[in-house]
Chains A and B, each alone.
Chain A
Amino acid sequence: MTDKDPYTGADPKGVWFNRIHTFEAVDDATGQSRTVHFPKSCLHCDDAPCVTVCPTGASYKRGEDGIVLVNADTCIGCKLCSWACPYGAREYDDDQGVMKKCTLCIDRIYNENIPEENRAPACVSTCPAGARHFGDLNDPNSGVSAIVKARGGYALMPEQETKPVNRYLPPRPKQDSAAPSAPRMLKHEETDTNGAGLLARWVDKILSN
């Protein structure tokens, strides 16, 4: 990545892709809301419009693993691929005059000089919560395919017809507050005296009259 002036000055500039947006989804019926931290990266679409629109062939999708890449030596910097991508996965590098994008850390995932368990994209291997997963979604028996199946992984903006490969796992369901195992929820005016001490129960009795 090029960072022209990433950390200093009033107007830092640079190209980077690993962004976390924060969204809130509010159920209009119940008023219940969920806050979701939402990472964005290239989805390596099967029908990638950024590849179709590229006039030079610099933008390509690898046959062997489906990773979408830019050949920086033949890119003319027309920016059309960034217009075609619905997900904002591409950025123009002012410094080098070419397009930049997430490479799925292609230099790490095939790197035989690093231990096999570390051969994952940096965003996956550094996530302290293990919220990101890496694997072959084309293989129905892979770990990621199993997770996607079990948790209802979904594609972003399927109506854009780009057939994104990456899947997002929905937030885990909230605990049912009526279930016996659910933690007790406090009400502003607690009337239940169960579990209170002898003195407290006596005072409660006097005051309740």
Chain B
Amino acid sequence: MHPAKSVIFFTTASGAGYGLAFWLCLLGAFGLAPADVIFGAVAFGAALSLITAGLLSSTLHLGHPERAWRALSQWRSSWLSREGVAAIITFAPIGMYAISWVFFDTTTGAMGVVGVIGALAAMVTVYCTSMIYASLRSIPAWSNRWTPAAYIVLSLSTGAVLAAFLFSAWRFEIARIWALIAALLVVAGLIVKLVYWRSVTAAPSRSTAETATGLGQFGSVRLIDAPHSQSNYLLDEMGFRVARKHAEKLRRIAIFSGFVGPAALLALAPLAGGAAGVLTAAAVIAGAIGIVTERWLFFAEAKHVVTLYYGESRA
């Protein structure tokens, strides 16, 4: 699949934003994060900016952005519609909780309940995003349970890495233990992603050139003449091939920059004393590069079954 920049930015930025909001709401609600006003403003500002920027970028790549409101209507059948509805609903509890934290200095009690609701709503939204991809049978690499698992775990881990940086920047007491928790979440993300890659490589798809043409009854099928001499929408959108050549290298970059590097930096942070802020900042930057690479691969490596009509023998 063609890795559109807007969708890569949307899924990674909103994912991290929802993850950060999830942890802020949850830790705040249980009184585990100090209700510092400036911290709350910066942290919720970052989370909501990431979420909003991602949603806007995904809206602007539409052919008719001015009609985007119509996408809220088909929530009963479409995961894309459900995601839109969930994203808008999620703004309410997270926004309320952020206002209560920043302006009313209240993070627990009744507002704590709102925080927990906001945290859950954030993950429901991420799940809806992942199901947009996981529900497409036409793209076998996405159509499995590891796709939603990876989206949720990566949202939680990238959000936790951001939280680790913010906690250590404010020198909160929770910063040291949180860096270790974030490191564990990053490792969990790596495990899920490795299983995803393994299942994508191992599981042969049910669709082949033989089933796509129905000519399997006469033998093995190959395309001998294409229907057109130029590229077309289908080949540009679904027949993306550049990544396959570098898939192995890019996977290594994703693994080291997105997971191994940040996990090591976070694990070292509690021992680094005053340098913890630098280490967690480095984890954020390395993680961002790695996760964008991972997301780019998620799209670029996924093969659409329509390519079976254009010379692929197995999708």
Contacts and interface: CB of A to CB of B under 8 A. Distances in A.
Given A21-B226, A23-B213, A160-B207, A84 B136 contact: yes
A38 B63 contact: no
Contacts of B136: 49, 53, 83-84
Contacts, number: 177
A83 B233 contact: no
B131 to A, nearest CB: 10
A83 B138 contact: yes
A25 B224 CA distance: 10
Contacts of A55: 70-74, 78, 80-81, 84
Contacts of A52: 77-78, 135
A97 B220 CA distance: 39
Interface stretch (B31-39, B112-120, B304-312): B304-312
B64 A75 contact: yes
Contacts of B80: 53, 55, 78, 80
B220 A28 contact: yes
Interface string B183-216: 0000000000000000000000011010111111
A82 B221 contact: no
B218 A168 contact: no
Interface string B137-176: 1110000000000000000000000000000000000000
B237 interface: yes
A160 B227 contact: no
Interface in B70-115: 70-74, 77-81, 84
Contact of A25 (B77, B81, B84, B218): B218
Interface in B27-58: none
Contacts of B234: 82, 88, 91
Interface of A: 11-12, 15, 19-28, 32-36, 38, 40, 49, 51-58, 74-80, 82-88, 91-93, 96-98, 154-161, 168, 170-171
Given A77-B62, A82-B238, 8 more contacts: A25-B220, A26-B220, A32-B219, A35-B224, A55-B78, A75-B63, A156-B213, A157-B305
Interface of B: 1, 62-65, 67-68, 70-74, 77-81, 84, 132, 135-139, 206-207, 209, 211-228, 230, 232-234, 237-238, 304-306, 309-310
8 closest Cβ pairs, A-B complex: A77-B63, A97-B63, A19-B227, A22-B225, A55-B71, A55-B81, A25-B218, A27-B219
